[in-house]
Amino acid sequence: MTRNEAPHDPPTVLTIAGSDSGGGAGIQADLKTIEAVGGFGTSAITSVTAQNTTGVQGSYLQPIDHIAAQIEAVLGDFDVQAAKTGMLATGEVIETVCEYADELPQLVVDPVMVATSGDRLLEPAAETAYEELIAEATLVTPNADEAAVLTGIEPTNESTAIEAGETLLDMGAEAALVKGGHIGGEDVIDVLVSENQVRTFRHERIDTDATHGSGCTLSAAIATHLAHGEALTDSVSRGVDLLARAVRYNLDVGEGAGAVHHLVETRERAARSETTEAVRRLAASLVEMDVASLIPEVGTTVAGATPFAERLAEVAAVDGRITHTRDGVSTGQDVRFGASTHVARYLLDAREVDADVRYAANWRYDDAVEDALLELPGDVITLEEAPTLESGAVSALSAATDPVAVVDPGGDGRVPVTVLFAKSPADLQTRTAQLLEAVE
């Protein structure tokens, strides 16, 4: 029997940019990101670069008429809902894109001038040509160096970033996102300036040089969210969040610093089913071990994070906890994401130290458990101050390199507990067995 088709209708996004043979930036990064955010990616390639994670070895500019032909081919067939630009290379290419600006809805202009490796991707003479394209932009997304070239204002902090953004609005852009990755400081501060508001986005700086493709990924994500009909501020916020995670869980590829992880949010969602089942099996195995003597008065939460978890909603846990009743050890209800707060927070804090940590469970804490913890490999952290959901244990864990447990000794109405960590369900079972042997 012939099956009926069930076509999908994602919004189409056009990227006009250069090709990166290394796959981390340019057209390749754009198309990966567009698809990951739920759009259909189309492209017009301006330049073909010989490039990898160590730098740009060569570049070939496409003939202007062929660039125009690519744009016309896409616009002539697809209902383009948003567009973005990347590497345009020359003033003539920028002028060509400007000719089609009226047909490019929700245009995000990423004024690419220099690659992450430091190699120049724009002729110096073409810098002034950007003024006309910026005037057509829904959003322009310069980093600090590009903003300085375009506006004459060097962003060194939030206030000067706002000043540069306001100048870009004076040049005709509807909004400007001045990116703070190149500005020093403990946090990365991205500043969105529009006619009606100034919005600052803050993210803790990731200790890595693997940022190849970061600007392309951010602008492509924002354009795709706009194509979905989302508001500008929401589109920027979600794009910034994606990039922060893509930088942290970067791709260790090539001999250079590596590239950002364009599909990181897609991979996170894809891992949820496996994580749920792993937590379910882990909880069942712990019940079979008869862990009654380890269960604290508050009950035991068994939790598991996806490999890319950053938020409480990305940690699965037994809904209802494991408890000790007259009839023995009883599991809670089913496993669901967001079921845990405190244990999930501890787990996320441990992942700040070692992102391979994925599982956790809270057990009682007494002298016997304290002695048993000393036998476990890794760092056991005792909290000196009463934890809160907001503070968790991240500051205390900062001294650790291999977190195995966090201990809250209790007090002020709090029950003493041990939160045990592991990289796999099997490791958590083994460590729990060691504690169980000690208390029994």
The average pLDDT across 58-62 equals 93
Contacts of 425 (CB under 8 A, 6+ apart): 278, 279, 281, 282, 285, 304, 359
What is the mean pLDDT of the segment spanning 220-247? 97
Residue 1 maps to a domain: no
Considering the entire predicted model, what is its pTM?
0.91
CB atoms within 10 A of CB 304: 32
Give residue 34's pLDDT. Answer: 98
Q: Which residue has the tokens 């916020």?
A: 237
**Residue pLDDT, tens place only, 341-368:** 989 999 999 999 999 999 999 999 988 8
In this predicted structure, the answer to whether residue 415 has a pLDDT above a threshold of 70 is: yes
Average pLDDT in the 238-257 region? 94
- The mean per-residue pLDDT over the stretch 381-394 comes to 69
Please state the φ and ψ torsions of residue 318, each to the nearest 5 degrees: -65, 120
Q: Are 126 and 161 in contact (CB under 8 A)?
A: no
How does pLDDT run across 319-328, given as a tens digit for each residue?
A: 877 776 666 6
For residue 320, the model assigns a pLDDT of: 79
Q: Which of the 8 DSSP states describes residue 85?
A: E
Find the CATH number of the domain harbouring 232.
3.40.1190.20
Are both 256 and 278 inside the same structural domain?
Answer: no
Residues 61 and 190 in one domain: yes
Of 234, 269, 304, at which residue does a domain stop? 269
- 347 in the same domain as 293: yes
- 61 lies in the same domain as 118: yes
pLDDT exceeds 60 at position 277: yes
Residue 389 has pLDDT above 70, yes or no: no
Neighbours of 319 (CB within 10 A): 16
Mean pLDDT for the chain overall: 90
